[in-house]
Amino acid sequence: MADALTNAMTVDVEDYFQVSAFENIVERGQWDSLPHRVEGNTQRILELFAAQGVKATFFTLGWVAERYPGLVRRIVDEGHELASHGYAHVRVTGQTPDAFYHDIRKTKHILEDIAGVEVWGYRAASYSIGADNLWALDELQRAGYRYSSSIYPIRHDLYGMPEAPRFAFRPRGEQGLLEIPVTTLEIMGHKLPCGGGGFFRLYPYTVSRWALRRINRREGQPGMFYFHPWEIDPEQPRMQGIGLKTRVRHYLNLGRMQTRLERLLQDFRWGRMDQVFLKQQATEGT
């Protein structure tokens, strides 16, 4: 392992049918009637992390936590950070401030009651916090969160705040909530995604490794990587009635994901979001 910096490894704990791209295909009222695969897939991830000695942050849906409390307790018992992904994967762009506050408080209480630990972090469904709804960061702070990882500083058809800084910052001022954006690489004035998800499955692994090494070595910054349990599950049920773009984005290279992830865990040093970023901010503030 050539890189001394510790990067943050994160998992968005949601099932294959809960992604935003399927919200017009699968109603939330149908979720309990579908085959659930999130528990088994997350168990596999925990075993993979244990084999590699990696600690990570698990942004978990309240809906999942209520149905699989043993999984939530295992995450914490094995030394990982438990964080909130909201209750039912509703984009912030579709919520009022009051509805959003209710959602994040409810989820925080569910997770903390199950696991017996304080929940500090939050990640919005589909990175749905941006320039038009930064009020959400104020609501998160009011609800007792210490950081968010909900802004993607790129231009995208579904999300993004391209003008946002690439590294951890406080959009609402020095006393505001810490925002930790998805990692991007800047090339000739353009921000290129290199923090995981579908882009990690799209790019050859060598491209992802090169980008993260450049960020660590040239810019001296930790990266933040994310993926979902369904991304290591090529046997998941296939959704019908979805468009070609959605089909490609969701199912591309699922069979290669675990092997690539194993290489990534070996090639870099990884830790929890709170340990990588909250400690860094505390050090810089002294």
Domain locations in the chain?
A: 6-284
* CATH for the stretch 6-284: 3.20.20.370
**Distance set, CA 98 to CA 86, 94, 105, 136 (Å):** 14, 12, 11, 10
Regions of the chain where pLDDT drops below 50: 1-2, 283, 285-286
Number of Cβ within 10 Å of residue 170's Cβ equals: 15
Number of Cβ within 10 Å of residue 75's Cβ equals: 27
242 residue type, one letter: I
Maximum Cα interatomic distance, the chain, rounded to a whole number of Å: 54
Residue that has been written with the tokens 């992390």 in this structure: 49
**pTM confidence score:** 0.95
| 269 DSSP assignment | E
| Per-residue model confidence (pLDDT) at position 196 | 94
| Per-residue model confidence (pLDDT) at position 254 | 97
